[in-house]
Amino acid sequence: MSTSSLTADDTASPGLAGAETVLLRAMALYRVNALLQASLAIALDLHHYASLPPVLTLLAALAVENAALIALCLRRGSIQPAAVTLDTLLAMAGLFVGAQLTTAADGHTWVYFMYPFTLLASLSIGFAYRQLATVLTVTFALALAYVTAAITVHHDPAWNTIPNAMGYPVNTTVAWAAARYLRTVGARLDTARTEAVAQADHTAREQIRARHARALHDKVLQTLETLATGDLVPDERLRAHVAADAAWLRAFIEDDDATHSPTSLIAGLHHLAQRMALTGLHVELHHAALHDLDTDPVSAPHVQALLDAAGEALTNVSKHAGVTHAAVRTRLHADTLEITIRDRGRGFNPAAPTAGHGLRTSITDRMREIGATAAIETGPGQGTVIRLTLPTA
């Protein structure tokens, strides 16, 4: 059971998603405010419009389009750049339509309500795009549409239109900077939370390991060391085997480097031979094929699996073959690595049922899990040969 104080519920609302939620809400509020500004401008200057129905129709179209944009982004969980691009194109068209609905005499007043609306709505551009160059390009297109419509259709003077247009890049650049900051902080928060969860899990595993180590030390290790040093086990080879296992268990409990997963196949085979020597089994190693290699031809997890399988095979030799010698040979082919464990012991019938897990589970299945194969050649009185073959390509 993990003792981590961070649970799945704690990671349900990560920082980046939270930042996107804030930006979504900000965009929605700004666009609602833009609609209110346009509505207020129309309400205060009704007499400046030659025909009110087209004006109200444009306002209604803006409301529907804004509602659709906000609903789409809320459903997707973030501001959608493609939707904002389409919105900008509609806003550019709306600038020309709005200019035509206002008489020339009304010049540079807010009767031309599309200007304040698009000025506030342009903040969506800064929120939507991640690259500043994209933000400025889209903003320039919107500002150019405003200047063109204001001067050529609405007959706004240039001395008023051009300064007004500067509000677009100011708004979108500030929005982009704020969005970038929020997203950066959110991403860092997600990373920090992930690392905290991983560290908490690691700490929990270490605590569990420490409890298990204490239990092994107080129970199993003391029993093994007593059997290895006393007279309770008269067989010298069996006593040496118990001593070897006791030494390994003590190293494991004390977190000795000898128990760590070896990264070198040669070093692992030498360590394995030394362990088996304590049980009375002399292991002859032949690994010239690996001497000239800078690195192992297989990954560290595969190295460990091969060593575990070879160790199981040699343990079977020590327990059941009735011999004191075995040979381990490595061969490196074009696309495979082969390890052969051979003894000239009593052999066995591989088809006969065995107690416990047997070679099939302890070696054959273990090799299958890493994409390797294990071939067993034996017979009563014929010795045993086990070939472990792992693809390297």
Query: Does 186 share its domain with 298?
Result: no
Q: Does residue 111 lie in a domain region?
A: yes
Domain end point (choices 161, 191, 221): 191
- The span from the first CA to the last CA of the chain, in angstroms, equals 40
Question: 204-236, pLDDT tens digit by residue?
Answer: 887 887 787 777 766 777 777 777 776 777 777
Query: Does 268 share its domain with 187?
Result: no
Question: 306-353, pLDDT tens digit by residue?
Answer: 888 998 899 888 888 889 899 999 998 888 899 999 999 998 887 776
Greater confidence (261 vs 373) lies with 373
Residue 284 CA to residue 271 CA, distance in Å, equals 12
Q: Does residue 251 lie in a domain region?
A: no
Q: Is the pTM of this model over 0.85?
A: no
Q: Does residue 382 lie in a domain region?
A: yes
In which element (H, E) is residue 330 found? Answer: strand 325-332
Q: Does residue 220 lie in a domain region?
A: no
Please determine, for residue 45, whether its predicted confidence score (pLDDT) is greater than 60: yes
Domain end point (choices 166, 191, 216): 191
Q: Does residue 332 lie in a domain region?
A: yes
Please determine, for residue 12, whether its predicted confidence score (pLDDT) is greater than 50: no
Residue 55 CA to residue 60 CA, distance in Å, equals 9
Average pLDDT of every residue of the chain? 83
Residue listed under structure tokens 């025909």: 51
Q: Does residue 69 lie in a domain region?
A: yes
Query: Does 14 share its domain with 161?
Result: yes
Pairing of β 336-343 and β 373-378: unpaired
Q: What is the CA radius of gyration of the chain?
A: 39
Query: Does 167 share its domain with 285?
Result: no
Please determine, for residue 261, whether its predicted confidence score (pLDDT) is greater than 50: no
Query: Does 291 share its domain with 152?
Result: no
* Overall domain count for the chain: 2
Query: Does 41 share its domain with 162?
Result: yes
Query: Does 162 share its domain with 16?
Result: yes
When pLDDT is cut at 50, 70 and 90, the band that residue 5 belongs to is very low
Query: Does 301 share its domain with 390?
Result: yes
Domain interval for residue 386: 262-393
The CATH number covering residue 389 comes to 3.30.565.10
Nearest residue to 303 via CA among 281, 271, 280 = 271
Give the mean model confidence (pLDDT) for residues 364-384.
89
Contact indicator for 317, 325 with CB cutoff of 8 Å: no
Query: Does 184 share its domain with 42?
Result: yes
When pLDDT is cut at 50, 70 and 90, the band that residue 243 belongs to is confident
Contact indicator for 223, 33 with CB cutoff of 8 Å: no
Domain end point (choices 172, 191, 210): 191
Query: Does 182 share its domain with 293?
Result: no
Contact indicator for 386, 317 with CB cutoff of 8 Å: no
Structure tokens given for 124: 């969506």
pLDDT at residue 358, rounded to an integer: 59
For the chain, give the percent of residues with pLDDT over 70: 85
- Other C-beta atoms lying within 10 Å of the C-beta of residue 12: 8
Burial of 317 (0-12, 13-18, 19+ CB in 10 A): buried
